[in-house]
Amino acid sequence: MDKRFLTILVVVVIALGGIFYFGKSSNKNTADSGNGTPSNHTEGTSPKNVNLTVFGDFECPVCGSYFPIEQQLLAKFQGQITFTFHNFPLVSIHPNAFAASRAAEAASLQGQFFKMHDLLYQNQNTWGSASDPTPYFQEYAAQLGLNVAKFKTDFQSTTVNDTINADVALGNTKGITGTPTYFLNGQKLDNTNLNSVTKFEAVIQTALDKAK
């Protein structure tokens, strides 16, 4: 076989291999073991150690429908329960979900996770249908009075990416397949018992009564 042809063939194979490796290593929207630590986003304090935890996806319509229920619960049980949020973006069906988690985590680095969390759910229909949601996220960052330049840098950072992936890995260990998934004091809840404020309140009140 012609040596020049062999040389060209080797170069092409190496180039294609490099492209494949770059594409794989630059994919920041997949859950992997990484080096991150799961997030620790909490609201409220509970003297009785009653903790409501949710694994949520900011683009998930069902999560969006539960958001106002969560807000009412936090208002009703203020000073009685602790609320914890973990990222669980379902990227196979919600293409902007991982980016939304990036926005929330970037805001967290400036102490504004839950304010961004609220804006993302309140405006879900706007950024969720966008081909590129990042301008909306930057707009929300400005609205919250964040340092937008820092927000943009943090949004793209490995630290933020690793935190989200660590949350997803944590959810996977708990067998989570959909969102929202709630845990009360470590026990997974059945969403069919949570689809109204009254039902959700009853579940939490039972946990508070037992904690007495």
Tens digits of per-residue pLDDT, 67-114?
A: 999 999 999 999 999 999 999 999 999 999 999 999 999 999 999 999
| Cβ atoms 19, 52 nearer than 8 A | no
Instruction: Kindly state the tokens that stand for 4.
Output: 């020049």
**CB within 8 A of 95, min separation 6: which ones?**
59
Identify the pLDDT of residue 35.
Answer: 81
Query: What residue type is assigned to position 142 of the chain?
Result: A
pTM of the model: 0.84
Low-confidence stretches of the chain (pLDDT beneath 50):
1, 3, 5-33
Closest of 31, 203, 74, 58 to residue 121, by C-alpha: 58
The pLDDT of residue 103 is 98
pLDDT of residue 159: 97
Kindly list the domain boundaries of the chain, sorted by start residue: 41-211
Q: How far apart are CA 98 and CA 58, in angstroms?
A: 8
Q: Among 3.30.930.10, 3.30.420.10, 3.30.1330.50, 3.40.30.10, what is the CATH number of 41-211?
A: 3.40.30.10
